[in-house]
A and B are shown apart, each in its own frame.
Chain A
Amino acid sequence: GAVVSQHPSRVICKSGTSVKIECRSLDFQATTMFWYRQFPKQSLMLMATSNEGSKATYEQGVEKDKFLINHASLTLSTLTVTSAHPEDSSFYICSARDRDRYNSPLHFGNGTRLTVT
């Protein structure tokens, strides 16, 4: 089945530093990937849509300069949390859909738990 690999699974960083999270589709190509954020006991909130070869589309209220997204190939998207602060601590999950199977579900990575101290 379709596999989405997300790395790292867990990261602890100091306030003010930047953290990069990678999301790879292992056995399919994804024109579009999605980045979600989830706080404890809450739902998934869509942050942005990552588009291969073009700019990401950010949801309202998400700072594009703080959450940098790059989608350089059909199998890789990265999210960089710049100048992280404790309030950025959260569970970040990427997802992707096989570009050749539009009716298929979104496949999710295993998530990255970010803790900013």
Chain B
Amino acid sequence: ELKVEQNPLFLSMQEGKNYTIYCNYSTTSDRLYWYRQDPGKSLESLFVLLSNGAVKQEGRLMASLDTKARLSTLHITAAVHDLSATYFCAGRPLFHYNQGGKLIFGQGTELSVKP
């Protein structure tokens, strides 16, 4: 059974600093997703990582995937207040085609960027 673990769970950053959120998963997942959630809101898709070595960047966020280490990272560069949110990674279990590709989520990382 796929398990997904994130760390840290809480992250307080100063504006302008860099930091990385880590996402480990327990068994083979054929892809890795990153989502953002603002308080009281639903989830917004950030990245879909499909293969080993995949790297994607959008603005100050960059996500990567190492399938051999079963690790994905979300790197934040020069953080700004607008990035304050909860970030989730999610894996999709392999061989669950008959279940339409359900996602299993990590615990979430609550990011607070302070001036």
Contacts and interface: CB of A to CB of B under 8 A. Distances in A.
Interface residues of A, number: 28
B48 A111 contact: no
B81 to A, nearest CB: 20
B42 A31 contact: no
Interface in B53-110: 88, 99-108, 110
A93 B42 CA distance: 7
B33 interface: yes
28 contacts: A6-B42, A31-B100, A32-B101, A34-B103, A36-B105, A42-B108, A43-B88, A43-B105, A43-B108, A44-B43, A44-B105, A46-B102, A46-B103, A46-B104, A51-B100, A93-B43, A95-B43, A95-B103, A97-B100, A103-B50, A104-B48, A105-B33, A108-B35, A108-B42, A108-B44, A111-B41, A111-B42, A113-B40
A24 B57 CA distance: 30
Interface of A: 6, 31-32, 34, 36, 41-46, 49, 51, 57, 93, 95, 97, 102-111, 113
A107 B100 contact: no
Contacts of B102: 34, 46, 49
B88 A44 contact: yes
A110 B41 contact: yes
Contact of B42 (A42, A49, A51, A110): A110
A44 B41 CA distance: 13
Contacts of A109: 42
B45 A105 contact: yes
A41 B39 CA distance: 9
A49 B97 CA distance: 12
A62 B103 CA distance: 17
A114 to B, nearest CB: 14
A49 B99 contact: yes
Contacts of A46: 102-105
Contacts of A36: 105
A107 B40 CA distance: 17
Contacts of A51: 100
Contacts of B43: 44, 93, 95, 108
